[in-house]
Amino acid sequence: MKNTDLPQIKTLLSDDYQENLNESIEFFENLAQEQNFTFEYIQLPTIDQNSIQLLLEVRINPISVFHGHGSTFELARQSSTNLALKYIRCLTKQQQYSTANITTTPLLQTTN
């Protein structure tokens, strides 16, 4: 993510972050606005009329796609959004660790 000092991404990365499916869509939309990325839900055709399946395309680097399913469109959206949030959390934490300053001390050379 571009700026990990902003409130939405800080909340997502905090150790206290708890997934709440009822609020995940709103949180995700706020995060997208804060971090300036776009996304799109794409409903898939299904044979079973009691099941909705969709894809959530998140346009971050790299572009990522998440599958959601549920008995309603809203539940399918929540399913895919929750997966996207988990992915963004993992990806951002990994970026933080890989860019952390690592200091080393030079090895002492022994003299014979």
Specify if 65 maps to a domain. yes
Q: What is the dihedral of CA 53, 45, 60, 9, to 10 degrees?
A: -30
Residue 112 lies in a domain: no
For residues 82-105, give the mean pLDDT: 75
**What count of residues does the chain have?**
112
Residue 22 maps to which CATH number? 3.30.160.20
pTM above 0.85, yes or no: no
Q: Assess if residue 17 is contained within a domain.
A: yes
**pLDDT band at residue 13 under the 50/70/90 scheme:** confident
Q: Is the pLDDT of residue 83 over 70?
A: yes
**pLDDT tens for residues 41-64?**
999 998 888 899 999 999 998 899
Domain count, the chain: 1
